[in-house]
A = this chain, B = another copy of it.
Amino acid sequence: MSYAVAGDWGTSNLRLYRIEKGVVVERATGPGIGNLGAPPEQVLRATLAPWRETGEPSAIRLCGMVGSRNGWVEIPYADCPADAAAWRRGAVHLALDAIPVTIGAGLACTRASGAADVMRGEETQIFGAMAIAPALAHGRHLVALPGTHSKWAQVEDGRVTGFQTFLTGELFALLRDHSTLTRASAEDGADTDEATGFATGLARIDAGGHLLGALFEARAAQLRSGVGGAWARGFLSGLVIGAEIAEIAPAATGEIALIGDPALVERYSQALAARSLTATAYTGDACSLAGLALLETP
């Protein structure tokens, strides 16, 4: 059976999809660009090896950090505003053992402040979402991609006109794993404590609190109010997600498109609802695949 391969190769993970007649029939995972341990071609070969035993793929399409300075080949960013056609033109073609490989470009923009911003991988999901829901390619929309580096993109008649990155996921992980905030109590607590902490963190921000002056409550509450580590982790998650939404809220009108992991999208939906903002959810995987399908192969 002939097949093609599509893949999202980010900092943390390589996710490969085996596609037959347009349908994903198998998945494989490998190390991300941030922890390769070997040249990217070699890592890709190793991850593909079981599939290649049944024959060579017709083509490989990739997106994400594989196109960065530390990836396989550095691909220039496409500049905003960019529509799907401009983005596709930025893709680079190479080969792995004579199998044609196409790697999609990232996007860059400059905000009004003069600050630069970049993305690699999320643009594929944004253009993929427009392919899945064509209404997104007409009129003005706000597209949110929560994650390690959350992106909020403005889309106008099919063009990404600009975007902003929030360090939300990375900051949460730093605070959870490396700070003095989550281990002040000997008790950890239950999952329900984490949900209570999340709601408390969200409420602090919704009541007008700011991130930097609210973080230490995670520790103080453990010393004074008898809560444990689970509550503190939930509280920190509520604070950072709440702070992200609070920054975006003044500019948010109408329905928001939320693309990502379903559990994370659920937390964002809860935070948006607290501000009377509504969102339509799209699965990150499906959007990546739809976006990768837009890339031409030679």
List residues of chain A with CB under 8 Å of any chain B CB.
11, 69, 108, 113, 115-118, 149, 164-168, 170-171, 174-175, 178-181, 204, 207, 209-217, 220-221, 223-225, 240, 243-244, 246-247
Contacts and interface: CB of A to CB of B under 8 A. Distances in A.
Nearest to A34: B180
A11 B179 CA distance: 13
A147 to B, nearest CB: 12
Max count, chain B CB within 10 A of own CB: residue among A149, A207, A213: A213
Contacts of A164: 213
A164 B210 CA distance: 12
Nearest to A223: B118
B179 A220 contact: no
B115 A166 contact: no
A211 B212 contact: yes
B204 A168 contact: no
Contacts of A115: 204, 214, 217, 220-221
> What are the 6 A-B residue pairs with the smallest beta carbon separation, nearest first?
A116-B224, A165-B216, A167-B215, A116-B220, A115-B217, A174-B174
Copies of this protein in the assembly total 2
A212 B244 contact: yes
A247 B213 CA distance: 7
A246 B165 CA distance: 21
A178 B168 contact: no
A224 B175 contact: no
Contact of A149 (B167, B175, B216, B246): B216
Given A108-B224, A117-B217, A213-B247, 10 more contacts: A113-B204, A115-B221, A116-B220, A117-B216, A149-B216, A166-B215, A167-B179, A167-B216, A210-B210, A210-B211
Given A166-B216, A212-B167, A221 B116 contact: yes
10 contacts: A69-B223, A115-B220, A115-B221, A116-B220, A118-B220, A174-B175, A210-B211, A211-B211, A212-B240, A212-B244
B220 A168 contact: no
A166 B212 contact: yes
B117 A243 contact: no
A11 to B, nearest CB: 8
A243 B243 CA distance: 13
Contact of A171 (B207, B215, B243): B215
A179 to B, nearest CB: 6
